[in-house]
Amino acid sequence: MLKIAKSLLTIVAVAAIATGATGAYFSSSISNNGNSFATGTLALNVNGTDQAGQTAVFGEANLAPGDVIPEHTFTVSNVGSLNANHLDLEVTLSGDVALAPYIVLNGSDGARFGGPTKAGTDTVRFDVAGWTAGDTEYGVSDGLTGLNITGPNAVLPLLPGPGNGMDRDLDGRVTLADFAAGKVRITPGTVNAGIASGTTATLWFNSKLDPATPDSMQGKTVTATFTWTLHQDASQF
């Protein structure tokens, strides 16, 4: 019994030493402070201001058939800290909307979007003659369906000619009515000005009153509202 008791005491002593030895190891710790998470901003600025209800930037009174409306521009800037996925343009009409098909894009650069210069490889043309399948500066599509704008319900490459480009009523022209036919989505191609954070793009708009405007359009006034919306993700409409 004495031997057994001595053996038990030895085991207890060894266990106690082992337990005590665990507390003898060194350790070192350090805290990493200041790990904060903040949201970015997506902010749209049009014509130098972020105020809604801006006054008109273009238009003309007392027009006669064939009269040219001076070039006007919209500047669109993403002044936030986040890149946008796309930019939507929605044109709504009020007043004598029957006049809108007679406000025709005029000249070789009837409408261009991009920046910073009107002509060149940093802009996309919205008029029929200049909008080609190789015009890759921006993608332009129907803002609700995502389909390429090449005429009603068509899914085709962007091609010149009647019914293509922005000619959504298939009459061989691009008019104010075509712009108002549905939301237009602009996505970056080789250029992302106006969509990326800190960039600005311009819509140049050159138009005229169609020389074939009928007498029934005398004394009429159509008013257009251009609404621009930046979206962060492709799923947003």
Is residue 107's pLDDT more than 80? Answer: no
Residue 82 contacts residue 88 (beta carbons within 8 Å):
no
CA distances in angstroms from 90 to 13, 87, 144, 172, listed in the order given:
86, 10, 11, 22
What gap in Å lies between CA 131 and CA 100, rounded to an integer? 21
| Residue 44, pLDDT score | 79
- Taking residues 13-37, report their average pLDDT: 67
Per DSSP, the residues of 36-81 read --------EEETTB--SSPPP----SS--TTPEEEEEEEEEEE-SS
pLDDT, tens digit (0-9, with 9 covering 90-100), for 197-227: 999 999 888 888 899 999 998 888 888 888 8
CA distances in angstroms from 228 to 82, 86, 117, 213, 220, listed in the order given:
17, 11, 20, 30, 26
pLDDT, tens digit (0-9, with 9 covering 90-100), for 153-203: 333 444 445 555 677 777 878 889 988 888 888 888 889 999 999 999 998
Is residue 84's pLDDT more than 90? Answer: yes
User: How big is the CA angle at 190 (ends 169 and 51), to the nearest 5 degrees?
Assistant: 70
| Residue 101, pLDDT score | 92
Q: If you average pLDDT over every residue of the chain, what do you get?
A: 76
* Residue 44 bridge partners (DSSP): 78
Is residue 102's pLDDT more than 50? Answer: yes
Which of 214, 136, 225 has the alpha carbon at shortest distance from 179?
A: 225
